[in-house]
Amino acid sequence: MSDFKSFIASDAGASARYQSRRGRRIHISIDDIEPQSKKMSPADRAAFQTAVAEHLTSVKRSTFRGDVALKLDLATAGKSPPHAHTIAKNFLDLLGDRMTGVDWPKKSLLYADDSQIQALSVSCRHGEDEPNIRIEARPFAAMLDDLELAGVALQAAESMESHYEREREDEWVDTFRDLVRDEIGQRKALGDKMYEAYREMVRWSAQRALLGRSGVNIPVLGWMYGLPRGLPTGFDKTMWARLVGDSKLRLQVGELPIATGGSSAFRQNVSDEIAAFKKRWDWIISPLVVAVALEVVVRPNPKTPPAVLHDLDNIVRDYLIPGIVPAFGTVSDQRWTIDFAELRARDPKLADSWGPTPTPPAGTRNGVTRYEVWRLPAVVGEPGFVSVALVADIDAKGDLMQQMDDHITEWRDNLSDDSRDSWRRRRRR
């Protein structure tokens, strides 16, 4: 095998290709423009598009022609900001068609149409000191390559200790179940006040454990896309998608509507599945004491006409958030789960460290901390589905895209000097 082929097949080669892919990503950060919904002023819309156009020009990049993986990270500083999903709708449209008067040679800015977006992540922090809009975009094919490498990186880092840690986390669910079932005996043993305090502590840990494993992890996401390429995993991608689509830890809301009049039936499916999910898990998740993000996996029906293929953001905004947020009482920020009055009584110094107004503006309370949506390819002969997870968002892991980068970075940092430099040494012989 030639030196170059050896390099390509090596860990060092995989690391170099990842670095090259990172260089092809587009990163845009815009300050001084407050994230807004469609009510955004024409001047601010033009300023936003101009900033995007200037950045694309400066890095010599043009409009994406193919499929895209996109992240929006928003920070609002206004006193009455709109909800994240309404802000995202506005910016996703603004990243498409160019407004008249914006200096850019093409009709579209980042992409021609938001149907090109095959993976989308939107996060928003309200009540910040300064507004900020961060955009990261990359070809979806490069995202799949990153996903495949992240699976390799995770496999290299897997240990029995991490397996035992997950098992220990799951024990909190059993502990909370025992507390609920033997409430009379536990109250008698602990006393009412101690029992209430202990139950809330255990509820928090149990929700963290339950909702921590409701989402798909990086290996499973890769398997659903048929990764790693050329290596059998025991199940094909269709079987992995079925397993995710059958999980009782997720809301399974059926196929997206593709015919006229189907939207009402789909909304009813969402409502029915929310009720069924609450019936299964209300004993542990009501009330929610952890902040949650939404993780959505979509596979369209293979008969879906291209003209009615649902944009990923529309699925969340139109069908999921309106039902999920009020039904589960989800909040948009972890700070809403803290009782600051109780904290101030117990630990004034710690309470003071959060500042005089520790929570974001009141109107932003209802929501989720983040939502991400992944579209699988349609499979001939297989139905479509929408599978939704409420994922505990309290460990600062970030979305799946961020987790991929974090695992790959750790893997690259642990590569030995020999694996990094062996190809160069062979070339010098």
> Mind giving me the DSSP string for 41-90?
-HHHHHHHHHHHHHHHHHTT---B-S-EEEEEEEE--SSSPPPHHHHHHH
Nearest residue to 304 (alpha-carbon basis) of 364, 407, 228, 378: 378
Q: What is the pLDDT, as a whole number, of residue 164?
A: 61
Query: Over 70: is that where the pLDDT of 133 sits?
Result: yes
CATH code, residues 3-143: 3.30.1330.70
pLDDT above 90 covers what percent of the chain? 80
Report the pLDDT averaged over residues 391-404: 93
Could you tell me whether strands 26-31 and 385-392 are parallel, antiparallel, or unpaired per DSSP bridges? unpaired
Question: Does the pLDDT at position 386 exceed 70?
Answer: yes
- pLDDT-derived band of residue 425, with 50, 70 and 90 as boundaries? very low
Three-class secondary structure of residue 292 per DSSP: strand
Q: What is the pLDDT of residue 88?
A: 97
For residues 345 and 326, what is the distance between their CA atoms, to the nearest angstrom?
30
Whether the per-residue pLDDT at 428 is higher than 50: the answer is no
Structure tokens at 145: 């390559």
The predicted model scores a pTM of 0.92
Residue 175: φ, ψ to 5°: -60, -45
Mean pLDDT, to the nearest integer, of 85-102?
Answer: 97
Point out the least confidently predicted range of 150-159, 285-294, 362-371: 150-159
pLDDT at 429 over 60: no
Q: How far is CA 396 from the centre of its chain?
A: 12
Residues 281, 247: contact at Cβ < 8 Å?
A: no
Q: How far apart (Å, rounded) are the C-alpha atoms in residues 326 and 293? A: 14
Residues 206-257 pLDDT 10s: 999 999 999 999 999 999 999 988 766 667 899 999 999 999 999 999 999 9
Q: What is the pLDDT of residues 259-269, one digit of tens each?
A: 888 999 999 99
Which of 421 and 9 is assigned the larger pLDDT?
9
Domain regions of the chain by residue span: 3-143, 182-411
pLDDT of 157? 78
Question: Helix 42-58 crosses helix 84-94 at what angle (to 10 degrees)?
Answer: 60
